[in-house]
A and B are shown apart, each in its own frame.
Chain A
Amino acid sequence: MEQLGGTVIGFSNANVTSIQKGESLWDTIKMTEQYADVIVIRHPLEGSARLAAEAASIPVINGGDGSNQHPTQTMLDLYTIQKTKNRLDGLHIGFVGDLKYGRTVHSLVIALSHFNPTFYFIAPDDLQIPESYTDELFQKKIKYFKTADLNRFAKELDVLYVTRIQKERFPDPLEYEKFKGIYRVDEQFLQNVKKDMKIMHPLPRVDEIDKSVDNTSHAAYFEQAANGIPVRKILLALVLGRIK
């Protein structure tokens, strides 16, 4: 926002706001819109961004609501796929890691479903993609496969979207211990993939992509992160009516 010439009023900690005094999200938004032209909200509760959008008369951008959605990440993910693969249509896309709680996965699956993809959901049963998403894919007649084995469809993939097993999303720390480090994309894995297969990751990563992958032509995750800046700038300019 500052690079666009705007200013930011906000807070990184809700404890310094009236939320601490028990103010509702609705009221916080009603107050904030008096001072701002656009609201960007990242909130741990699912559906918070939608409620904020209902409360506000100014544009609201969802910067991530719990494990539900992360639409701006999806926009930069789509941009990265278009840039690195020169197309969005008809791609074979794998998702690996925490597909249950991974909001970037949820949003990207819905967005890519408009481009005739084939999906490969790679996760243990307990972290598999929620049924509501596969129901939607079934209705749209989109082909998808579920597996716990990272290598099973390695040769098919045009893009592999890797996600972190998110410690903070597990209600039980013991459950996290069970799954951490379960998948690792490394040079050995890359021996079985298409030459132009791209690896993406919403970052931060822990140990799911080995550092040795960074210098290969497969790594697209730092470019992906960098794409976040122009994409989010454009989004702000669009909702503020500065570009059409």
Chain B
Amino acid sequence: MARRKKKGRRGKEKIRAKKVIQAPKEELKRELKISAIDEGTVIDHIPTDATFKVVDILDLENHSGIVSIATNLQSKTIGRKAIIKVGGKSLTQSEVNKIAIVAPDATVNIIKNYDVREKIKVKTPDIIDNVVKCSNPVCITNNEQVPTKFYVLKKDPLKIKCHYCERSMGKEDIEII
């Protein structure tokens, strides 16, 4: 009984190419499978243009466990989305905070024994401490060893203002430290 239940959950992890907009007819019949992970983290609802920023934030290039990335998937809430599955990794609060900046609608699912143990909706903070680099080359934070600090002016689309040089930055200027 328990075994059947587990299988069902694994089934939920499948991402169906059927739902991808404008896919060729033959491809509609195919199914894109991303293997379920027994332990780790699934980050869902990532805007497609932020996919590789999340990869960078989590330093997944150097991760030794399984990493599955699916992008350009249809999402009811954000249009197109990406999902990243990382086997054998739990996120730190600092990593979750960083993801919130590039993917404000993301959900972080903590997987244990193929089961979603916890679902965390990331939240863009009002103040961003030492996560983002100031885009102003003559800002004191780019010339001295000073932790950066930004105030969030607008959450969607993200607009932040440097505590030191007072320059405001849009989503496109954001570079994670």
Q: State which size class the interface on A falls in.
A: 10 to 19
Given contacts A47-B166, A68-B166, A132-B168, contact A25 B153 (CB under 8 A): no
CB-CB nearest in chain A for B148: A47
| Total contacting residues, chain B, CB less than 8 A | 18
Q: Which of B145, B161, B166 contacts A46 (CB 8 A)?
A: B166
Interface residues of B in 131-145 (CB under 8 A from A): 136, 138-141, 143-145
Given contacts A26-B144, A47-B162, contact A132 B138 (CB under 8 A): no
- Set of chain B residues within 8 Å of A65, measured between Cβ atoms: 140, 165
Interface residues of A in 54-87 (CB under 8 A from B): 65-69
Interface membership of A45, Cβ < 8 A: yes
Q: Which of B141, B145, B153, B168 contacts A47 (CB 8 A)?
A: B141
Given contacts A47-B166, A50-B164, contact A24 B140 (CB under 8 A): no
Q: Which of B140, B166, B168 contacts A69 (CB 8 A)?
A: B166
Interface membership of B123, Cβ < 8 A: no
Q: Is the CB of B167 within 8 A of A51?
A: no
Given contacts A24-B145, A132-B161, contact A51 B166 (CB under 8 A): no
Q: Is the CB of A46 within 8 A of B138?
A: yes
CB-CB nearest in chain B for A48: B140
- Set of chain A residues within 8 Å of B146, measured between Cβ atoms: 26, 51
Interface membership of A135, Cβ < 8 A: yes
CB-CB nearest in chain A for B154: A135
- Set of chain B residues within 8 Å of A47, measured between Cβ atoms: 139-141, 162-166
CB-CB nearest in chain A for B141: A47
Q: Is the CB of B168 within 8 A of A51?
A: no
Q: Is the CB of A24 within 8 A of B138?
A: no
Interface membership of A131, Cβ < 8 A: yes
- Set of chain A residues within 8 Å of B162, measured between Cβ atoms: 47
Expressed in whole angstroms, the minimum distance between the Cβ of A38 and any Cβ of chain B is: 20
Interface membership of A44, Cβ < 8 A: yes
Expressed in whole angstroms, the minimum distance between the Cβ of A241 and any Cβ of chain B is: 27
Given contacts A45-B138, A132-B168, A135-B153, contact A50 B163 (CB under 8 A): yes
Given contacts A26-B144, A46-B139, A51-B146, contact A135 B165 (CB under 8 A): no
- Set of chain B residues within 8 Å of A25, measured between Cβ atoms: 140, 144
Of listed A44, A51, A67, A68, residue having the most chain B CB within 10 A: A68
Q: Is the CB of A46 within 8 A of B168?
A: no
Interface residues of B in 109-161 (CB under 8 A from A): 136, 138-141, 143-146, 153, 161
Q: Is the CB of A68 within 8 A of B144?
A: no
Of listed A46, A65, A67, A68, residue having the most chain B CB within 10 A: A46
CB-CB nearest in chain B for A46: B165
Given contacts A45-B140, A66-B138, contact A51 B164 (CB under 8 A): yes
Additional 8 contacts, C-beta under 8 A, given A68-B165, A132-B166:
A46-B138, A46-B165, A47-B140, A51-B164, A66-B165, A69-B166, A131-B168, A135-B168
Interface residues of chain A, those whose CB is within 8 Å of chain B, are: 24-26, 44-48, 50-51, 65-69, 130-132, 135
What 8 pairs between A and B have smallest CB-CB spacing?
A47-B164, A46-B165, A132-B168, A47-B140, A47-B165, A45-B140, A48-B140, A51-B140
